[in-house]
């Protein structure tokens, strides 16, 4: 059967997109291999901070979160507990409110409401989210001090889709990745897909 | 179609891409045969009708969905959850009879959300926006006749596993009231579902007092805590007030406690919760009472990794009745629930289908049009389970062997029917059938418990009691004997062993067992009463009086202890002690002729 012109158009366009996506992947892959993160985060006062500056002596955990995403909010106590335990072992945590629909005022209110004491940042234009290919909240990235990817993805396995959650998590992927990294110092670049609220197009 | 718009090969690349995208958009419009939906024209009315009731400030949903900004921020989530029919939350497939409070989007509405998001989330003309929705006042049915509130707030912890807890609300009533409607306000975003129950025994109050925080934990409700007579009473976020059909109000008696069993989900921060219930009374006493019947399977035994395992049970309708409502129940491994009616004429009719069960959104369903089930109809419950890792709700990873039980990591398979018998005599047929089933279920339930733990003394006692109900005395006595053996400090084991001896006429052994019972639990009223009878038969009047006095002190509504003690005092010539006892006994049981004779004797003598 002759493909109709519309299908043909869509196919060709997808082909192009695929090529572009491939280039982007190759580029980000090369960048994480070279291990020099150039992207910077912006704090709530508007000052820029390079990722190396925010990193602990061994590494950095970037936590992408939102002010009203229930999956993200429910995981916050786990983030706070992990950060307290990891800080003294050389890993710092940074909160990233990447959703441009959320105002800095909302972010400040959220920090207070959830009693969060970790440093909080925005990612205007998504340079950091694009560098690490994150697009939902909650999603975490664990990198070594020189920017090598140790782990990216979900915090735990409580939710397998929006609103579809177990009574309790049965796997704590970030905790496992942190533990393995602190023990071995290796950066295997493990990825477990995250489930949550989308803040930018994947 | 492509040739219909200009192709300009000389254009710079960016501009040609724009034309491409434009072209795709135009083609898209032609293919769908409709314009791209805009927020104010198509999406906003849908949000107001189906989402904003909960997704607004002060309600249960985690974020608001009212404005254009809300909708664009959550567009992907909206498309995802409506496409999966996770939102609006509604588990059953459509039934021709319809359900009260059904919340479903049509396929066309789901597609509108998807097309709006894919089409760039156009805002459209604010002048064409619908009128802002009018939300009901604090109480949808107006000010309730009685508002009961938790005396103290309970704080849901910020983190950890889901919480299942019962909250006890004393009801200040001076007389029996008929509840026509009720509305539940959890005042907390942590609230996920709730069942309303009534306790007249004080058990729930005692459990509450024994726990330092408000309420007491568990998915396992004490047996004395029951659903309102003839009704299911569940709540989920978004459920409005619950009204009983005319003539079917439920009775709430003075000294009752309302007990709310709640499923709470930690939200990431401590969530104080002080729930309220609004009750609406009617002066019209109920003219009829629905009966509830349960199909249950206690034999659940799911191996790790097991999928498509179906557990069934059935119930034969003993008299013509209308099915008013239905309540399915299973935990996290239940995947698909079906209820079928096999009518006497051979026709099969579906009563309920839940293709993708979700424990978090459980509740009961009332049919818009009741379903007539003639006598002889066989109702069948079919619940399918999945204990593999493919079940995203599985509380265990890797999966574990799971059997029947009340906890989250156990499983259940239940289906309840709410039926209204067509004729008055129908009620008696259901009562008889239900008693038989209650005994059958108690035997199945406790047999299952003993399979898990053969040393469970309470299960032996309860199995023995059910066997006694079926007049299977020899088997019953054996379980009481084993109960006392495996749980020598369980007072009920010795009590029922005493009963076995009494039934066999072995009075000495019976007395010894009842003595042991009151040693273990001095407030076992029934043991005192039995001891009193045995002492009386043996001619030990003073000892008998002491036992009846103890029983009556422990339970001032024990008519037998009160009347027997009164008659003993009369016989002992202690008229001053006898009179108040006999007067009270006459109130408790006006049909006792010995008491009436005793009172007559006292009156004659006074004259």
Nearest to B129 by CA among B225, B203, B46, B22: B46
Please name the residue of chain B whose CA is at the shortest distance from the CA of residue A7.
B24
Mean pLDDT confidence for B5-34: 44
CB contact under 8 A, B62 and A68: yes
ipTM of the complex: 0.79
H-assigned helices in B386-524: 424-452, 457-469, 473-486, 491-503, 507-520
Question: What sign does the CA torsion over B324, B329, B237, B129 have?
Answer: negative
The DSSP bridge partners found for residue A197 are: A137
What pLDDT is recorded for position A38? 63
Q: Which of A74, A166, A171 sits opposite B395 (nearest CB)?
A: A166
CB B354, CB B91: distance < 8 Å: yes
What pLDDT is recorded for position B418? 97
**What whole-number percentage of chain B has pLDDT above 90?**
78
The highest-level CATH class for domain B146-282 is mainly beta
Task: List the structure tokens of B604.
Answer: 């004659």
DSSP-assigned letters across all residues of B224-253:
TEE-STT---EE-TT---EEPPTT--EEE-
pLDDT at position A5 over 90: no
**Alpha-carbon distance A103 to nearest alpha carbon in chain B (angstroms):** 12
CB contact under 8 A, A167 and B408: yes
CB B424, CB B411: distance < 8 Å: no
The DSSP bridge partners found for residue A95 are: A63, A120
What pLDDT is recorded for position B32? 47
Q: What Å distances lie between residue B95 and B275, B426, B464, CA to CA?
A: 33, 27, 43
CB neighbour list of residue A181: distance below 8 Å, 6 or more residues apart: A58, A59, A91, A142, A144, A150, A151, A187
CB neighbour list of residue A28: distance below 8 Å, 6 or more residues apart: A130, A131, A132, A133
CATH 1.25.40.10 placement within chain B? 531-607
Pairing of strands B257-264, B216-217: unpaired
- pTM for the complete prediction? 0.81
Report the run of H or E that residue B379 belongs to, with start and end. strand B378-385
Strands (E), chain A: 40-43, 48-50, 59-65, 91-97, 120-122, 136-137, 139-144, 149-153, 159-161, 164-165, 190-192, 197-198
Only one residue has tokens 């909206």, namely B78
CB neighbour list of residue B563: distance below 8 Å, 6 or more residues apart: B581, B582, B585, B588, B589, B592, B594, B595
Residues of chain B neighbouring A165 (CB-CB closer than 8 A): 265, 360, 393
The DSSP bridge partners found for residue A96 are: A64, A121
| Distance of alpha carbon A148 from alpha carbon A51, whole angstroms | 12
| Distance of alpha carbon B288 from alpha carbon B419, whole angstroms | 11
pLDDT band for position B35 (cuts 50, 70, 90): confident
pLDDT at position A44 over 90: yes
The highest-level CATH class for domain B291-422 is mainly beta
Mean pLDDT confidence for B118-131: 94
CB contact under 8 A, A77 and B159: yes
Task: List the structure tokens of B214.
Answer: 């408000």
**Alpha-carbon distance A77 to nearest alpha carbon in chain B (angstroms):** 6
Mean pLDDT confidence for B255-279: 94
In B, residues 350-369, which contact A (CB 8 Å cutoff)? Answer: 358, 360
CB contact under 8 A, B159 and A113: no
pLDDT at position B3 over 80: no
How wide is the angle at C-alpha B311 spanned by C-alphas B310 and B312, nearest 5°? 120
Mean pLDDT, chain B, whole residue set = 91
pLDDT at position B11 over 50: no
What pLDDT is recorded for position B14? 45
CATH 2.60.120.230 placement within chain B? 291-422
Q: Return the C-alpha torsion angle B473, B476, B480, B481, nearest 10.
A: 70
Nearest to B295 by CA among B466, B171, B413, B123: B413
CB contact under 8 A, A10 and B358: no
Q: Which of B76, B80, B395 sits opposite A167 (nearest CB)?
A: B395
Q: Which of A70-79, B235-244, B335-344, B413-422 has the lowest mean pLDDT?
A: B235-244
pLDDT band for position B406 (cuts 50, 70, 90): confident
Q: Which of B24, B74, B269 sits opposite A9 (nearest CB)?
A: B24
Q: Which of A90-99, B50-59, B383-392 has the lowest mean pLDDT?
A: B50-59
Mean pLDDT confidence for B466-475: 93
What pLDDT is recorded for position A14? 52
What pLDDT is recorded for position B255? 85
| Distance of alpha carbon B264 from alpha carbon B270, whole angstroms | 12
CB atoms within 10 A of CB A27: 10
Task: List the structure tokens of B441.
Answer: 């279920």
pLDDT at position A32 over 90: no
Neighbour-count burial of B201, counting CB atoms closer than 10 A to its CB (0-12 exposed, 13-18 middle, 19+ buried) = middle
pLDDT at position B390 over 80: yes
3-class DSSP assignment, residue B483 = helix
| Distance of alpha carbon B147 from alpha carbon B212, whole angstroms | 25
3-class DSSP assignment, residue B164 = strand
**Alpha-carbon distance B162 to nearest alpha carbon in chain A (angstroms):** 5
Please name the residue of chain B whose CA is at the shortest distance from the CA of residue A79.
B268
- Using DSSP, how many helices (H) and how many strands (E) does chain B show? 16, 23
Residues of chain B neighbouring A102 (CB-CB closer than 8 A): 73
> Which one of A161, A163, A175, A202 makes the best mutation probe of the B interface by having the most chain B beta carbons within 10 Å?
A163
- Phi, then psi, of A191 in degrees rounded to 5: -130, 125
Please name the residue of chain A whose CA is at the shortest distance from the CA of residue B31.
A6
| Distance of alpha carbon B511 from alpha carbon B488, whole angstroms | 17
What pLDDT is recorded for position A4? 53
pLDDT at position A99 over 70: yes
pLDDT at position B15 over 50: no
CB contact under 8 A, A74 and B159: yes
Q: Which of A131-145, B234-248, B324-338 has the lowest mean pLDDT?
A: B234-248
The DSSP bridge partners found for residue B314 are: B380
- Phi, then psi, of A73 in degrees rounded to 5: -60, -40
pLDDT at position B203 over 90: no
3-class DSSP assignment, residue B405 = coil
* Angle subtended by helix axes B491-503 and B457-469, to nearest 10: 30
What pLDDT is recorded for position A104? 96
Q: Can you identify the CATH homologous superfamily of domain B531-607?
A: Tetratricopeptide repeat domain (1.25.40.10)
């Amino acid at each position: 059967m002759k493909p109709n012109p519309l299908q043909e158009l869509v196919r060709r366009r997808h082909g192009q997109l695929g090529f572009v996506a491939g280039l982007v992947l190759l580029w980000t892959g090369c960048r994480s291999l070279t291990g020099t993160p150039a992207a910077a985060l912006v704090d709530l006062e508007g000052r820029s901070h390079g990722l190396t500056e925010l990193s602990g002596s061994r590494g950095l955990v970037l936590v992408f979160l939102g002010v009203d995403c229930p999956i993200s909010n429910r995981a916050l106590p786990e983030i706070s507990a992990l950060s307290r335990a990891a800080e003294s072992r050389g890993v710092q945590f940074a909160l990233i409110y990447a959703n441009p629909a959320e105002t800095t005022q909302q972010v400040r209110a959220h920090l207070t409401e959830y009693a969060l004491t970790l440093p909080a940042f925005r990612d205007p234009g998504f340079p950091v989210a694009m560098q690490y290919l994150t697009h939902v909240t909650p999603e975490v990235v664990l990198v070594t001090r020189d920017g090598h990817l140790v782990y990216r993805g979900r915090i735990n396995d409580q939710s397998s889709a929006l609103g579809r959650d177990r009574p309790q998590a049965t796997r704590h992927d970030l905790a496992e990745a942190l533990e393995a990294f602190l023990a071995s110092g290796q950066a295997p670049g493990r990825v477990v897909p995250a489930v949550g609220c989308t803040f930018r197009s994947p | 179609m492509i040739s219909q718009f200009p192709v300009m090969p000389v254009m710079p690349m960016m501009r040609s891409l724009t034309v491409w995208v434009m072209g795709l958009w135009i083609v898209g419009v032609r293919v769908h045969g409709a314009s791209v939906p805009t927020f104010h024209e198509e999406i906003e009315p849908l949000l107001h009708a189906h989402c904003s009731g909960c997704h607004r400030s002060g309600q249960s949903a985690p974020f608001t969905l009212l404005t254009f900004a809300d909708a664009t921020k959550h567009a992907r989530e909206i498309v995802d959850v409506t496409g999966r029919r996770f939102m609006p939350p509604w588990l059953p497939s459509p039934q021709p009879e319809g359900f009260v409070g059904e919340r479903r989007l049509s396929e066309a509405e789901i597609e509108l959300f998807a097309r709006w998001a894919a089409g760039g989330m156009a805002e459209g003309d604010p002048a064409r926006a619908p009128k802002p929705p009018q939300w009901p006042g604090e109480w949808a049915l107006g000010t309730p006749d009685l508002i009961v509130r938790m005396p103290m707030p309970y704080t849901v912890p910020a983190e950890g596993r889901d919480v299942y807890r019962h909250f006890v609300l004393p009801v200040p009533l001076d007389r029996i009231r008929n509840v026509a409607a009720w509305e539940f306000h959890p005042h907390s975003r942590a609230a996920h579902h709730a069942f309303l129950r009534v306790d007249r025994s004080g058990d729930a109050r005692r459990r509450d007092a024994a726990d330092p925080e408000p309420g007491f934990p568990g998915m396992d409700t004490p047996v004395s805590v029951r659903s309102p007579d003839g009704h299911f009473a569940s709540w989920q976020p978004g459920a409005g007030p619950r009204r009983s059909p005319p003539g079917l109000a439920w009775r709430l008696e003075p000294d009752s406690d309302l007990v709310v069993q709640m499923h709470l989900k930690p939200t990431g921060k401590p969530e104080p919760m002080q729930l309220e219930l609004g009750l609406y009374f009617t002066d019209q006493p109920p003219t009829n009472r629905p009966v509830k019947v349960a199909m249950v399977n206690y034999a659940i035994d799911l191996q790790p990794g097991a999928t498509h395992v179906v557990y069934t049970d059935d119930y034969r309708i003993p008299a013509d009745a209308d099915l008013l409502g239905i309540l399915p129940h299973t935990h996290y491994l239940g995947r698909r629930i079906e209820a079928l009616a096999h009518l006497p004429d051979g026709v099969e009719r579906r009563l309920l289908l839940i293709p993708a069960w979700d424990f978090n959104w459980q509740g009961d369903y009332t049919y818009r049009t009741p379903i007539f089930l003639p006598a002889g109809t066989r109702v069948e419950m079919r619940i399918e389970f999945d204990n593999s890792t493919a079940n995203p709700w599985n509380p265990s990873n890797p999966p574990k062997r799971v059997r029947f039980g009340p906890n989250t990591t156990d499983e259940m398979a239940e289906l309840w029917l709410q039926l209204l018998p067509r004729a008055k005599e129908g009620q008696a047929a259901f009562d008889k059938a239900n008693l038989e089933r209650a005994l059958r279920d108690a035997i199945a339930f406790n047999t299952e418990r003993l399979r898990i733990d053969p040393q469970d003394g309470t299960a032996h006692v309860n199995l023995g009691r059910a066997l006694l109900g079926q007049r299977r005395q020899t088997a019953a006595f054996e379980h009481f004997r084993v109960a006392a053996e495996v749980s020598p400090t369980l007072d009920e084991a010795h009590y029922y062993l005493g009963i076995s001896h009494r039934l066999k006429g072995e009075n000495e052994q019976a007395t010894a067992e009842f003595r042991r019972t009151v040693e273990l639990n001095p407030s076992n009223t029934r043991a005192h009463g039995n001891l009193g009878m045995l002492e009386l038969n043996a001619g030990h009047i003073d000892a008998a009086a002491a036992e009846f006095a103890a029983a009556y002190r422990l339970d001032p509504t024990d008519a037998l202890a009160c009347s027997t003690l009164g008659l003993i005092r009369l016989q002992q010539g202690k008229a001053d002690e006898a009179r108040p006892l006999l007067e009270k006994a006459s109130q408790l049981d006006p049909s006792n002729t010995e008491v009436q004779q005793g009172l007559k004797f006292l009156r004659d003598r006074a004259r």
